[in-house]
Amino acid sequence: MNTGNISAAVLRTVFAIVFSITGFLLGRELYVNVLSLHFASDWLQWTMMIFSPVAGALAGIAVAPLAQTFFEDELNLVERAIERLAPAEIAGGAIGLLVGLGTALLIKSILFEFISITGRAGSYLAILLYLIVTIFFAYLGARVGAKTRLVPLASKDASVRSGGDAKIVDTSVIVDGRIVEIVQSGFVDGALIVPRFVLRELQAIADSEDPQRRTRGRRGLEALTKLQELRAIEIHERDYDDLPPGSVDAKLVRLAQELPGRLLTNDYNLNRVAQVEGVEVLNINELANAVKPVVLPGEELHVHVIREGKEAHQGVAYLDDGTMIVIEQGKRLVGSSTDVVVTSVLQTVAGRMIFARPKAVSPAAR
């Protein structure tokens, strides 16, 4: 028998004992306060004195499995809710709960100092009022404590110890794959955080029916494995039930605000939204553009023309870093290597584009 079966058996036994004892005591109270007053015969008195507690104990044993199932279901709900909370929220909620219970105890002491409640009905009323006050302030303290996140510096301190700010990795960066070489080169410091909802999105891409998406998703999983080999990656369990399941960008922005941390992304739209929300962003595309060699008008390059351009007379070549070169009068040079002279450089949102002309063609011949 494994540990899980042993735990379940122990829990069933505990519930059966507790509910049988409770049923026994309730049955005895029922006999003493109700049944004993309605039977004059000694035989009936003895019968009900034995039958009532035993019946109560049997009823308690019968109800125990239902109570156990309800208890386990609620416990699982609480466990899943805690898994979605950040450590700061859990700590804040616990401290808030203690403050709420202390406040309820203080109010009880003050309340019953000035309010006199006598009699059995008054005692029951006092207990009911105290339970209501306790539940209200405990719930209020836990909610307020969780929202204030009393230890927001925990993640920040951990990232400082690891050498820098925490970096929250977006799905686009994992699928892109260049993050592996960047981390390997040592240009990214601090903790690398991959939220659980990003992993779910990556898994959905890898399981897609579209072959291209499936290939990209599997490449992302391979990149994630390489990152784990290079550096310990923290899988963050925080999720946000108040946001739609598919709103990964909004969840990333909120997580970056809470930790705090920087977003590591290739997504242009997420980049802009994060900047509006005051979140720092590290965009790998911008990094790639920043480290590309500077090409100035008039500079000569040796390129291989691989295809025709959009215009009838154009040819297209690429530098080693992937920068496109549009060559005027280059259609006739497709499939060959040639020297070109840079005429202009255009910086776009998608990257940099270079315009050039064959060195052998003079400006007058164009």
pLDDT in tens, 13-56: 887 888 888 888 877 777 676 666 665 566 666 677 778 878 88
- Distance (Å, rounded) from C-alpha 111 to C-alpha 180? 63
- Tell me which of 64-68, 86-90, 237-241, 355-359 is least confident: 86-90
Quickly list DSSP for 116-159: ---HHHHHHHHHHHHHHHHHHHHHHHHHHHHHHTS-THHHHHHH
The per-residue pLDDT of the chain, averaged, comes to: 77
Of the candidates 337, 315, 311, 313, the one whose C-alpha atom is nearest the C-alpha of residue 326 is 315
What architecture (CATH level 2) is domain 158-289? 3-Layer(aba) Sandwich (3.40)
Delimit the CATH 2.40.50.140 region(s) of the chain.
294-365
Query: What pLDDT, on a 0 to 100 scale, did the predictor assign at position 123?
Result: 58
Closest to 189 measured CA to CA, from 170, 162, 168, 171? 162
More confident residue, 19 or 342: 342
H or E element at residue 318: strand 315-318
Q: Look at residue 90 in the predicted model and tell me its pLDDT.
A: 72
DSSP letter for 230, please: H
pLDDT over 90 at 57, yes or no: no
Of 249, 166, 234, whose CA–CA distance to 195 is shortest?
234
> Which DSSP letter does residue 323 get?
-
- CATH code that applies to domain 294-365: 2.40.50.140
- Cβ neighbours of residue 286 closer than 8 Å, sequence gap 6 or more: none
**DSSP-H helix ranges across the chain:** 3-33, 42-83, 87-114, 119-148, 153-161, 171-176, 178-185, 196-206, 211-230, 248-258, 268-276, 284-290
For residue 244, whether the previous peptide bond is cis, meaning omega lies within 30 degrees of 0, is no
| Structure confidence by residue, pLDDT tens digits, 321-341 | 778 899 998 888 998 999 999
pLDDT digits (tens, 9 = 90+) for 114-160: 555 555 445 556 666 777 777 777 777 777 776 665 444 444 444 43
Which pLDDT value is given to residue 255? 87
Q: Please, are residues 235 and 191 in contact by the beta-carbon 8 Å criterion?
A: no
Average pLDDT over residues 289-317: 87
Q: Residue 355 corresponds to which tokens in the numbers above?
A: 């315009």
Residue 217 has pLDDT above 70, yes or no: yes
Structure confidence at residue 163 as a pLDDT band (50, 70, 90) = very low
Rounded Cα distance between 356 and 336, Å, is 16
> Given the DSSP bridges, would you call strands 324-327 and 315-318 parallel, antiparallel or unpaired?
antiparallel
Q: CA-CA distances (angstroms) from residue 63 to 9, 73, 260?
A: 16, 16, 49
Cα(361)–Cα(366) distance, rounded to whole angstroms? Answer: 7
102-108 CB contacts, 8 Å cutoff, 24+ apart: 103/137, 103/141, 104/130, 104/133, 104/134, 104/136, 104/137, 104/138, 105/134, 107/133, 107/137, 108/133, 108/134
* Residue 170 burial by Cβ neighbours in a 10 Å radius (0-12, 13-18, 19+): buried
Cβ burial, residue 179 (10 Å; 0-12/13-18/19+) = buried
How many whole angstroms separate alpha carbon 213 and alpha carbon 196?
20
- Of 87, 77, 104, which Cα lies nearest the Cα of 166? 87
The predicted structure's pLDDT at residue 86: 62
Residues in Cβ contact with 204 at an 8 Å cutoff, skipping those fewer than 6 apart: 217
The structure's pTM equals 0.48
User: Given the DSSP bridges, would you call strands 262-265 and 315-318 parallel, antiparallel or unpaired?
Assistant: unpaired
Closest C-alpha to 230, from 281, 169, 185, 178: 185
| pLDDT band at residue 305 using 50, 70 and 90 as cut-offs | very high
The top-scoring range by mean pLDDT among 26-40, 87-101, 199-213, 284-298 is: 199-213
